[in-house]
Amino acid sequence: MTAGPDLDAPVLVIYTGGTLGMVPGPRGLTPGHDIEARLRRALATLPPARQASLPAFEVLETDRPIDSSSATPRDWQALAALVARHYRRHAGIVILHGTDTLAWTASSLAFQLQGIDRPVILTGAMRPLEAEGSDAIANVADALRFAVTARLKEVALCFAGQLLRGCRTRKWQTQDAAAFESPNLTPLGERVDDEVVLYPGRGLADHQRGAPRFELPDYAPLAAGGVVRLALWPGIEAWQVEAWLGDERVKGAVLEVWGGGNVPDDPSLTGALARASGEGKLLAALSQCPHGAVAFGGYAAGQGLEDAGVLSAEDMTPEAAFAKLVHLLAQPLEESERRRRFLTPLVGER
C-alpha cells in the first residue's frame, strides 16, 4: 500500500504553454514565460473569499513552452514522466496546456498514469491570462480547487466550470469559452455558485482500487507517424486505404466509419483492412457520429469490419482511441494481448 496524498501539501502547477500563457508578438500571440508571477498577479484580482478558497501551489515551467498544435506523443511521454517524478510531494497536479490538443494529451496521460491516487487536472484558456474578459483566471482557480479533492483519483479536464474525464473529452468550439464536451459520459463535477462539487459515483476512485500502476513506455518509435487516423468518405477506394495502411511505418490506425459501424460494401476495401490486420497492425473503428457507439453486425455493411479483424472502439473519442493505440503499440506485448487490452476499459475510456 502506498500512502495517499498529503492534502496540506501544495498543488504542483505545470506550465506547458498554450493560449493561457501567451503574449503578443510581432506575428501574433506566442508562448510566454514568467508564468508564476503572472498567475499570482491574476489570481490576486479574485474576490477575497475566492482567493481564500485556493490551495497553496508551486509552479514548474517546462523548458520549452509550446503552442499545443505542435505537441507530439513525445511531449505526452515527457509530461507523464514529469508528473510521475513529482506527484508524491503534492496534493494534486494542475497542468496548463493549449486547448487545441488538450483532449489528446489528457487521454494519453490517463493511460500512462493508470491508478493515479490523486487529481491530475488539465486546463487552459481560450484567451490569454492578461486579456480583458479572459476565461483563464476562472479555469485555473477551479482547477486548483479540484486538485485538492481527495476523492478524485484520475486525470481530468477542467474548463468553463465543468470537470470532465480526461479520456472522454473533445474540443467542441473554436471560440466559445465552453470549448469542451464529453459526448458519451456525464461530467465528474462542476462549479456550483462558488463551490466546486464532485458528483458521487462517477469517478474512477468509486470503482477501482489499488496502488498506482503507471505505464511509461517509450513513445518515440510511434511519434513519427506510427499511428494514423483515417475517416471514410463517400467514394473512398481500396487503393487509398492501402496507401496509408500498406506503409511499413504504420503500426496502427483509427478508422472513422459511418453510423453504428458501417463501411462501403466493397470487398476490395475490406480486403485491404484484412491484409493490414493480418500483418499485425492494430486497427480500431469508431463512429463519425460524436454521440453513441460502434456496434459491429447491426447492419450487413458493418460485418466486414469484424471479419477483417478490426476492433470496435465502442463509444471512445477519436483522441482516446488514438492515444490508446500509441500506448499499447509502444509496449512489448503479444498481438493478442494488445487486442485484449484495447477492448478492455483501462481508465474509464469506454
- Residues with a known catalytic role: 19
Question: Would you report the helix, strand and coil content of the chain in percent, each value rounded to 5?
Answer: 35, 20, 45
Secondary structure of residue 60 in the 3-state scheme: strand
Give the span between the Cα atoms of 69 and 149, in whole angstroms.
30
Alpha carbon distance 76, 109 (integer Å): 7
Residue in this structure with the C-alpha cell 481500396, named with its chain if needed:
238
297: region left, alpha or beta (phi > 0 left; psi from -120 to 50 alpha): left
Residue 301 C-alpha from the chain's centroid: 31
Residue ranges with strand state E in the chain: 11-17, 22-25, 28-31, 57-66, 93-96, 120-123, 155-159, 162-165, 170-171, 180-181, 189-192, 195-198, 227-231, 252-257, 282-287, 311-312
